[in-house]
Structure 1
Amino acid sequence: MRDIRGTCEPRFRAVRDAFQRNFDEGRELGAALAVYQHGRAVVDLWGGLANTRDEGVAWQQDTIAFLASATKGLVASAAMLLVDRGLLDLDTPVADYWPQFAAEGKAAIPLRWVLGHRSGVVTVDPPLTLTDLDQGTPLADALAAARPAWPPGQAHGYHCLTMGWLLDEIIRRVTGLSAGQFFAKEIAAPLALDLHIGLPHGKEPQLAELVPPTGEQLLQGRGAPEFDGLNQAICDPASLFRRSTFGNIVLTADLVTSVLLQADIPSCGGAGSAAGLARLYAALIGEVDGIRLLRPETTDRARAIEADGMDLVLQCHTSYGRGFMLPGGPMWPGSCSPTAFGHAGVTGAFAFADPDNGLGFAYVPNRMSELIDGGHDRVRRLMEATYRCALT
């Protein structure tokens, strides 16, 4: 039995029990879980091993984990904060901020289609190198020259890597800061969040080891019939899924250490704590220590349905708001309020806000998800327990 540490209000005892059960059943290596309700922290738990070296190092209160695509929730928060301040407009064409983007029939693509995975700009050709990512300009040029994979606005498909890159360039155009820099200055610092788009120098000792699932666990996680299309796409080098992920970057042995640890990659390069993620989502829907990030009407726009149905990249049902995943389809773990919005990551991280019930929820493990994003049984159990407690 792994020791679970942290705090949990008595009303949420069942959440602690569910968190403990994941460890007792051998589902976790290390993990953290945090819940806010109506602007207050009601659960802040952690346990297990942050890594397995030197006979195992325990997960600490300040341990942070890779967020993978849960990072998209951070950059979406930054973009919607700029919408709230009137510096970005959801219906304005991206080319108004970034004239070069108009090439290849992209002149009419509005910001909301990028946020809602409807722009069709999911691949670049040729694939980008690590140098391209570090220098920035080659990346922006490649995105501006990209040809949409489908007629913009007529379908949707998960912008695995390009959503963050596109938003990063747009944010640079209106603020002079990268998405990571803007998030750090305008969101993380005021709220005291241990959340980062690009791991700052010196934070490596806090970072939990990332442990991939076994082949058997992957088969179990994607065994449901609704994942048949995704499973086929993963195995097909010509699929839009493969082209928009592995086909967008030249893979090298130092990809993780050189890029994900240090680079500012807004789609998947984030790291942080469950406490920071839950606090972020709580501040998107209400006041946290006197700070509310978005006006209620902007929050409503962030969670409004932008795309719903068959995803041309993931080949299963997905639902998206403006930069956030929405309930619906197998990638969202379990049932919750229809007003909820959040994001998952392949690491197993999952975080969301629920305005109806005043919830900010976040879970970060270091044993990766059995799925591409979200949906796995560990977080579903934690969410179900959270709702049972929150509604009593």
Structure 2
Amino acid sequence: MFTLPTGINGAADPAFAPAVRAFALLFSRYVRTGGALAVYLRGEPVVNIWTGTADAAGEIPWEADTAALSFSTTKGITSMVIHRLADRGSIDYDVPVAEYWPEFADGGKHSITVRDVLAHRAGLGDLRRLLDDPADVLDHALMEQRLAAATPDWTRGLPMYHAVTFGWLLGGLTRAITGQEMEELYRVELAEPLGLSGLHLGHPAGAAVAEMVGPALSFTGTRLGRPLTAAVTRIPVLGTLISSAHVAGAEAALLGPFPDFGTARNGAATGVFSADAIARIYALIAGDGAFDGQQLLAPDTVRALDRRTGLSPDSNPLTFWHLGYHPFPTLGAPHAFGHIGLGGSGGWADPDSGLAVGFVHNRLDLFRLPVDMILTSLLLPTITRSAGSYARRAAAVRAA
């Protein structure tokens, strides 16, 4: 280990000093709230650091177990629940959802497969067609019922992001199969087997959870923002994409130190995670399904998540998301994948090198969002370079 920069807590292998310094610089000069970074290499912890504060007043220090609302980073974790069920034969990716969830066949949806949902091709992403009241987004059971009765729109078969409905679709599917809520499946399929204290769907009672800091998405509800947002959502294609994540009035659920939306149980967007919990989940992918001495997924199940292997072919040439994950390449890891969330949190795995990364912070600022969305990507090049240094050091020790 080495001496961490001022203001950075935790531990890191000396080979990862450049990654630690990049993290420290990012928070001291740009993010200026709180956050954490965890990295595993072939199942071994090499970075677990945190900094800053976990509240809007800047008085509560970020701790090792502090978790944060991580928005769409949740999709990668929810997808892992699906893969655990698939690994046991409870789910087949190419079977229609309606075979597991009969009510879902309504509206001509009998041919939509589990793979279609994971690839955002179900044609059910537009919130405008589902909500009677913006507050409906907080009721996952109600939204699952409406999706079961809904008819797909013109995007059926196309990879159009299901920013919010992704979670309700998979929640309805897994309840039909297991009889359990997705929140409970997080616990029994992931948190308990991996010994995770920082993995929750929705705000957990009694846990250390960071407040969100910044003006959030309040602009969409202002005198200027309302008509501008309404005009944009009327633009073909772009409007459909925006309406997968936003409807008029729903911005109220994103305001406040801990948004009301964060109390909901939506497997697309309301995960509350520590960086270490995210990294451990992705370490399963980077480690052929094994972590900490446990084989939680069969190697073939994990390799199917990598579209290069041919173990899980997808004939649709337009596919961007593959079994719940999107490409996440960086210098030294051209085939890595994972899932990023609103504000820039993220989970990442590179099966080639055995690297797994989890990153969280508690800033949500619309005006800095274009840059914030690439925060994980900004850290990854130094992480992969550090992993190279680690490997060279290990090789030198073996040679000696």
Q: What band does the TM-score fall into relative to the shorter chain? A: 0.7 to 0.9
Change over 3 Å in CA distance of 1:368–1:133 after alignment to 2: closer
Residue of structure 2 equivalent to 1:83: 86
| Residue aligning to 2:191 | 188
Pick which of 190-199 and 269-278 moved more.
190-199
Kept in 1: contact 2:186–2:199 (CA 8 A): no
Change (3 A) 1:35 1:147: same
TM-score under structure 1 normalisation? 0.83
In structure 2, what residue type is equivalent to 1:35? V
Among residues 117, 125, 134, which one is paired with 2:120 in the alignment?
Answer: 117
2:265 match: 264
What's the counterpart of residue 202 of structure 2?
198
When Rg is computed on C-alpha atoms for both structures, the one with the higher figure is 2
Q: 1:348, 1:246 → 2: CA distance?
A: 18
Asked whether 1:346 is paired with 2:342, we answer yes
* Larger CA deviation: 339-348 vs 114-123: 339-348
Cα deviation code 1:109-129 (max 9, x no counterpart): 111010011111112534155
Kept in 1, the 8 Å contact 2:73–2:341? The answer is yes
- C-alpha deviations, 1:307-352, integer Å up to 9, x for none? 9988xxxxxxx83110112237xxxxx4452432211111320111
**SS of residue in 2 equivalent to 1:322:** coil
**Structure 1 residue 391 and structure 2 residue 388: aligned?**
yes
> CA 1:299 to 1:272, structure 2 compared with 1: closer, same or farther past 3 Å?
same
Find the counterpart in structure 1 of residue 393 from structure 2. none
Change (3 A) 1:128 1:195: farther
How far apart are residue 242 of structure 1 and its match?
Answer: 3.0
Give the Cα separation in 2 of the matches to 1:276 and 1:149.
36
Structure 2: give runs of 5+ residues left out of the alignment: 218-227, 309-313, 390-400
1:28–1:365 contact (8 Å) kept in structure 2: no
| Matching residue within 378, 385, 400 for 1:381 | 378
The equivalent of 2:15 in structure 1 is 11
Q: How many residues align?
A: 358
Q: Which moved more, 1:259-268 or 1:272-281?
A: 259-268
Note the aligned Cα RMSD (angstroms). Answer: 2.8
CA contact (8 A) 1:307 1:320 kept: no
Output one character per residue of 1:150-170: Cα deviation in whole Å (capped at 9) or x when no partner.
2532x2111101111100110
Residue 242 of structure 1 aligns with which residue? Answer: 242
Q: Give the structure 1 partner of residue 179 of structure 2.
A: 176
Partner residue of 2:76 out of 70, 73, 77: 73
Code of the aligned partner of 1:347: G
Identity %: 34
Deviations 1:247-298 (A, max 9, x none): 3x86274566674343211111110110111011102332221123322211
Residue 149 of structure 1, CA deviation: 2.3
Q: For residues 1-392 of structure 1, what are the structure 2 equivalents within 5 Å?
A: 3-53=7-57, 56-124=59-127, 125-127=129-131, 129=133, 132=136, 136-150=140-154, 152-153=156-157, 155-193=158-196, 194-203=198-207, 206-212=208-214, 236-238=232-234, 239-247=239-247, 251=250, 253=252, 259-286=260-287, 287-304=290-307, 319-327=320-328, 334-335=330-331, 337-368=333-364, 370-371=368-369, 375-376=373-374, 378-392=375-389
Residue pair 1:210, 1:347 contacting (<8 A) in 2 also: no
1:265 aligned partner, one-letter code: N
